Copies of this chain bind each other. A is one copy, B any other.
Amino acid sequence: MDPDTVAKAFVDHYYSTFDSNRAALVGLYQESSMLTFEGEKLQGAQAIVAKLVGLPFPQCLHKITTTDCQPSGPGGGMIVFVSGTLQLQGEQHPLKFSQMFHLMPTPQGSFYVLNDIFRLNYA
């Protein structure tokens, strides 16, 4: 698959999992993985998913506006850069966000998330 197809498949999978069963995101991270969420730094799959599961809204819906990707160097990694909106249950207006992932290949031929940075884009 070409990188744009891989990136789109990853983005579809990531946000549909986030919106349906956040705990299942644990399989996308490893112990070396890092998340910076609105400036808060977390490391390791368990800590990252505990943060996501503990966010103070039970349901949300991501809509993706743009997905950009680039290969990230000799290690076979890939940068995925996303912008979109996040609709929280019970809130009238969606929030805009930007997020980037640095995906690294696994020996099994898949990818895991090494770097993840999320920011809301306040109006």
Tell me the A residues contacting B by CB distance below 8 Å: 34, 36, 39, 41, 66, 68, 70-75, 77, 79, 81, 83, 96, 98, 100, 102, 104, 114-115, 117, 119, 121, 123
Interface SS, A side: strand
Q: What chain B residues lie within 8 Å of A96 (beta carbons)? A: 121
The copy count of this chain in the complex is: 2
Which of B104, B115, B121, B123 meets A83, CB within 8 Å?
Answer: B121
Q: How far is the CA of A50 from the CA of B59 in the complex (A)?
A: 45
- Nearest 8 A/B pairs, CB to CB: A98-B98, A81-B117, A36-B68, A121-B121, A34-B70, A100-B100, A70-B115, A68-B117
* Closest chain B CB from A55 CB (angstroms): 18
